[in-house]
């Protein structure tokens, strides 16, 4: 008996002395970078991930509610009001402020890691070999992407673009792995140089390739030039703006999209089969070769980015449960684009529920931007000002229709990052700064502010309206009115594209224009205006950064 028992126990003892209890590899865990990055294909795969990290959706979602782009929607259940985002409440705990900051630095962190991987792998490839070239292209794209991230950060978190010694963002130009190291904010001049240098590095590859329409969803020479234009218009290096803008214009590859081409950038009818969206009724042009587009972010079904869910909860349009609508003050600007119809109600009850009728029949105005931004079943009341608050919310329905696709409940669309009109209007800013506000007004003449606006409005004419000449042009008499005209044109041209906040920050003071909501849109919360000098036009450094980085300095006001 004793023997039996002892045998059993020693068997157990053997069983339990194994190290397999605490030295465990989880199935499928890869913890060594050298297993992941082995060749050029794996680097390109990681590069695809970095492109996928870029988004403008976050910025748009922040800006559209915080600025004067939207008003309270018919189904608003407290969105924007309860959290203060529609009330100009902006704190360092703001989720968007944190998301823009952390999101871009995360991308930069990843880019820097990939630089190191490439530097390790590229040495094995012969100079000039196909693999070597692929590595070099990847590297150029990474420089371009890093410049882009820094440009975004620079634009939101720098209090004063024009002061070279003023505080800007953190310069992260190395592979950062030591959690205990923090870095302080660099000054404006350093960051400007950092961005310029990255673009110059990228241009070593792209410089002689010229502009490229077919690749407009990747970094190209056009994207690099556009970044410089955006940078220099912030820092007011207007000569540089004129130089680069002229390069782009003179190349004649990027031009203004006309009529339906403009609409197509945002209205997508079919996304199931198509890798690149096609506009069914409008013609044969695909976004791919749309001359207006300099850089866009393409969105695929399985990417999680959404845009329209900031305005709607279910789907786009009247049945989408609307949290926010187009702000009345913005609508009024669109309304003025066709003076013959200004003030007229929008709504055809007979057609309202007929989804087969193309929406533009009853939204027909002379400028395509009207129907691009307004959804078909909107109802604009001519007498809205005299309505009670309740009746105004319930009846004056201005549904945002900018990003539309067939599966309207998916709320996803390609994001336009840089467009040709952005370059033109940056040029207009340079012209305004140089006093070139009026002069010859003609198609193809970009020598003064008025003509640039004329060119844009001519391009945006609605071919179905029969109108061939833009009317209702802004009256430009002095510098301020020129700046104001530029700002207003940008407001319409880039509505819901994440520009308004930065535009007012950059030139609002010159135009003496801040955020201006219609009085009907601020009756419920008392937040009607934000002045162009307000400290809230620079985002706060996120609280998390302030707490974790002893070298960090908060922006004024927060």
Partner 1 sequence: MRSKVTWILTLFFSLIVQVGFAQQKKVSGVVKTQDGDPIPGATVLLVGTNEGTDTDLEGTYTLNASKGDKIKVAYLGYKSVTLTVSDSNVLNVTLQEEEIDVLDEIVIDQYRTMSKQESTVAQTTITSKTIEGRPNANVIQTLQGQVPGLNIMTGSGQPGSDDIDIVLRGVGSINGSTKPLFIVDGAAMADDRFRSINPNDIETITVLKDAGATSIYGNRGANGVIVITTKRGSFNQDLSVKYSGLTGVQFLQENNYNLMNSRELMTFENKVGVRSWTPEDMDNAVNTDWQNIFFAPAIQQNHTISFSAGSKNLSSNTSLGYADYEGILKTTGLKRFNLRSNLNGKNDSGRLNYSTSLGMNYSKNKMLNGTGTNLIYHNYFLGAFRALPYVDPNKYNWGRDYDSTRTAESELGDAGVTPIVLLNRMLYTGYGQNELKMNLNGAISYKLSDDITIGNQAGVDYQSISQTAWYSPLGYSQRRSIEGQEHPNGDPVKYTGSYAETLEERFVFNNTASLKYSKTFSDVHTVNVGLYTEYIKAHLNSTSISKRGFDPLFFAPGTGSGWIADNPGDDIYAVTGGKNKFNSGLFSYFGTVGYDYDKRFGLDATIRRDASFRFTKDNQWGTFWSVAGRWNISNEKFMENSIFTDLKLRGSYGVSGNQDITNAGYFGGANLFSTRYGIGVGYLGESSVFITQIPNESLKWETTAQGNVGLDFGLFNNRLRGTFDVYQKNTDDLFLARRLSAINGQTEINANFGSMENQGLELMLQGDIVRTENTRITLSANGSYNKNTVTEIPEATGFALNGDGLTGYKVGQPFAEFYLYKFAGIDVASGDALYYKQGGGTTKNPTDDDRFWTGKTMWPKYQGSFGIDVEHKGFFLTANFTYAKDVYRYDNDYYWYTTPGFAGVFNMSNDINGAWSSTNKTNASFPKLNSQTQALLSDSDFYVKDASYIRMRFISVGYNFKKSDLDFLNLSGLRVFAQGENLLTWTKWKGWDAESSRQLDFGQYPTPRSVSFGVEVQF
Contacting partner 1 within 15-44 (CB under 8 A)? 15-24, 26-33, 36, 42
For residue 128, what are the CA distances in angstroms to 121, 134, 402?
15, 10, 45
Min CB(514)–partner 1 separation in Å: 16
Nearer to partner 1, 65 or 241 (CB): 65
Among 98, 261, 309, 450, binds partner 1 (CB under 8 A): 98
Site string for partner 1, 418-437 (x = CB under 8 A): --------------------
Hey, what are 246's tokens? Answer: 């002229």
Q: How many CB atoms lie within 10 A of CB 50?
A: 21
Nearer to partner 1, 39 or 247 (CB): 39
Concatenating the DSSP letter of every residue in 447-505 gives: SSHHHHHHHHHHHTB-GGGT--S--SPPP--SHHHHHHHHHHHHHHHTTTTT-HHHHHH
Residues in the chain: 558
Which residues 385-404 are close enough to bind partner 1 by CB under 8 A? 388-391, 393
Strand-strand pairing, 324-326 and 70-72? antiparallel
Nearer to partner 1, 321 or 342 (CB): 321
Gap between the Cα atoms of 359 and 282, Å rounded? 13
For residue 480, what are the CA distances in angstroms to 236, 454, 508?
16, 18, 10
Min CB(313)–partner 1 separation in Å: 7
Stretch that binds partner 1, among 87-95, 255-263, 281-289, 489-497 (CB under 8 A): 87-95
Applying CB under 8 A, does 475 fall inside the site for partner 1? no
Min CB(177)–partner 1 separation in Å: 8
What is residue 530's three-state secondary structure?
strand
Which letter does DSSP use for residue 296 in this model? E
Which residues 275-314 are close enough to bind partner 1 by CB under 8 A? 275, 298, 300-304, 313-314
Stretch that binds partner 1, among 259-267, 333-341, 368-376, 548-556 (CB under 8 A): 548-556
Which letter does DSSP use for residue 299 in this model? -
Nearer to partner 1, 272 or 444 (CB): 272
Min CB(310)–partner 1 separation in Å: 16
Gap between the Cα atoms of 515 and 398, Å rounded? 19
Within 8 A by CB and 6+ apart from 6, the residues are none
What is residue 267's three-state secondary structure?
strand
Hey, what are 188's tokens? Answer: 């404006």
Determine whether 250 is exposed, middle or buried from the number of CB atoms within 10 Å of its CB (0-12, 13-18, 19+).
exposed
Stretch that binds partner 1, among 6-14, 230-238, 331-339, 343-351 (CB under 8 A): 6-14
Applying CB under 8 A, does 270 fall inside the site for partner 1? yes
Hey, what are 337's tokens? Answer: 């684009």
Min CB(173)–partner 1 separation in Å: 10
Please work out the total of residues on this chain that contact partner 1, with binding judged by CB under 8 A. Answer: 108
Min CB(540)–partner 1 separation in Å: 9
Nearer to partner 1, 486 or 522 (CB): 522
Do the beta carbons of residue 431 and residue 250 sit within 8 Å? no
Which residues 193-232 are close enough to bind partner 1 by CB under 8 A? 217
Nearer to partner 1, 14 or 123 (CB): 14
Q: Please name which of 316, 278, 275 lies closest in space to residue 299, comparing C-alpha atoms.
A: 275
295 has which bridge partners? Answer: 418
Min CB(270)–partner 1 separation in Å: 7
Nearer to partner 1, 429 or 518 (CB): 518
Nearer to partner 1, 252 or 273 (CB): 273
Hey, what are 77's tokens? Answer: 């259940």
Among 213, 467, 531, 546, binds partner 1 (CB under 8 A): 546
Stretch that binds partner 1, among 103-111, 235-243, 357-365, 448-456 (CB under 8 A): 103-111
Gap between the Cα atoms of 150 and 194, Å rounded? 8
Site string for partner 1, 524-543 (x = CB under 8 A): xxxx--------------xx
Min CB(539)–partner 1 separation in Å: 13
Concatenating the DSSP letter of every residue in 351-374 gives: TTT-TTS-GGGGG--SBHHHHHHB
Nearer to partner 1, 404 or 457 (CB): 404
Among 38, 93, 386, 440, binds partner 1 (CB under 8 A): 93
Min CB(320)–partner 1 separation in Å: 9
Applying CB under 8 A, does 189 fall inside the site for partner 1? no
Q: Please name which of 423, 410, 444 lies closest in space to residue 494, comparing C-alpha atoms.
A: 423
Stretch that binds partner 1, among 82-90, 119-127, 252-260, 465-473 (CB under 8 A): 82-90
Which residues 361-380 are close enough to bind partner 1 by CB under 8 A? none
Question: Angle CA(488)–CA(342)–CA(322) in degrees, nearest 5?
Answer: 75
Min CB(187)–partner 1 separation in Å: 17
Among 133, 409, 438, 480, binds partner 1 (CB under 8 A): 409
404 has which bridge partners? Answer: 267
Applying CB under 8 A, does 556 fall inside the site for partner 1? no
């Amino acid at each position: 008996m004793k023997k039996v028992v002892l045998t059993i126990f020693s068997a157990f003892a053997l069983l339990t002395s194994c190290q397999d209890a605490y030295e465990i590899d989880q199935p499928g865990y890869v913890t060594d970078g050298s297993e992941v990055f082995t060749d050029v294909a794996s680097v390109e795969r990681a590069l695809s991930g970095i492109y996928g990290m870029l988004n403008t959706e976050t910025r748009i979602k922040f800006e559209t509610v915080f600025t004067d782009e939207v008003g309270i929607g018919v189904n608003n259940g407290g969105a924007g009001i309860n959290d203060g985002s529609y009330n100009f409440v902006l704190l360092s705990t703001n989720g968007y402020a944190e998301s823009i900051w952390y999101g871009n630095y995360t991308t930069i962190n990843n880019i820097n890691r990939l630089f190191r991987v490439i530097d390790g792998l590229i040495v094995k490839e012969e100079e000039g070999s196909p693999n070597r070239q692929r590595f070099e292209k990847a590297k150029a794209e990474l420089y371009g992407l890093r410049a882009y991230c820094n440009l975004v950060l620079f634009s939101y978190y720098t209090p004063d673009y024009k002061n070279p010694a003023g505080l800007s963002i953190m310069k992260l130009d190395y592979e950062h792995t030591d959690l205990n190291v923090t870095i302080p904010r660099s000054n404006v001049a350093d960051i400007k140089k950092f961005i310029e240098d990255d673009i110059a590095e990228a241009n070593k590859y792209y410089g002689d390739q010229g502009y490229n329409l077919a690749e407009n969803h990747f970094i190209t020479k056009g994207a690099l030039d556009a970044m410089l234009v955006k940078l220099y218009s912030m820092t007011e290096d207007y000569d540089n703006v004129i130089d680069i803008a002229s390069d782009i214009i003179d190349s004649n590859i990027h031009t203004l999209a006309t009529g339906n081409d403009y609409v197509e950038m945002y209205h997508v009818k079919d996304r199931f089969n198509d890798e690149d969206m096609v506009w069914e009724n409008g013609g044969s042009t695909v976004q791919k070769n749309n001359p207006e587009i300099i850089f866009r972010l393409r969105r695929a079904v399985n990417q999680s980015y959404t845009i329209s869910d900031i305005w709607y909860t279910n789907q786009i349009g009247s049945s989408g449960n609307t949290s926010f609508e187009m702000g009345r003050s913005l609508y009024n600007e669109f309304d003025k684009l066709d003076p013959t119809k200004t003030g007229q109600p929008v709504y055809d009850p007979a057609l309202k529920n007929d989804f087969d009728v193309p929406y533009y029949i009853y939204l027909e105005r002379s400028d395509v931007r009207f129907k691009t931004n307004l959804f078909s079943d909107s109802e604009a009341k001519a007498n809205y000002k005299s309505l009670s608050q309740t009746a105004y919310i319930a009846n004056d329905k201005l549904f945002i229709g900018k990003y539309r696709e067939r599966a309207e409940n998916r709320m996803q669309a390609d994001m336009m990052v840089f467009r040709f009109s952005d370059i033109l209007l940056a040029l207009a800013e340079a012209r305004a700064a140089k006093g070139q506000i009026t002069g010859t007004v003609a198609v193809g003449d970009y020598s003064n502010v008025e003509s640039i606006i004329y060119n844009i409005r001519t391009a945006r004419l609605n071919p179905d309206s029969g109108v061939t000449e833009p009317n209702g042009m802004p009256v430009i008499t002095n510098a301020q009115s020129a700046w104001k005209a530029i700002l207003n044109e940008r407001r319409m041209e880039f509505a819901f594209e994440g520009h308004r906040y930065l535009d007012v920050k950059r030139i609002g003071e010159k135009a003496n224009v801040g955020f201006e909501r219609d009085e009907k849109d601020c009756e419920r919360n008392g937040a009607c205006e934000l002045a162009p000098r307000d400290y809230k036009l620079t985002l706060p450094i996120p609280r998390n950064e302030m707490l974790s980085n002893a070298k960090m300095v908060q922006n004024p006001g927060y």
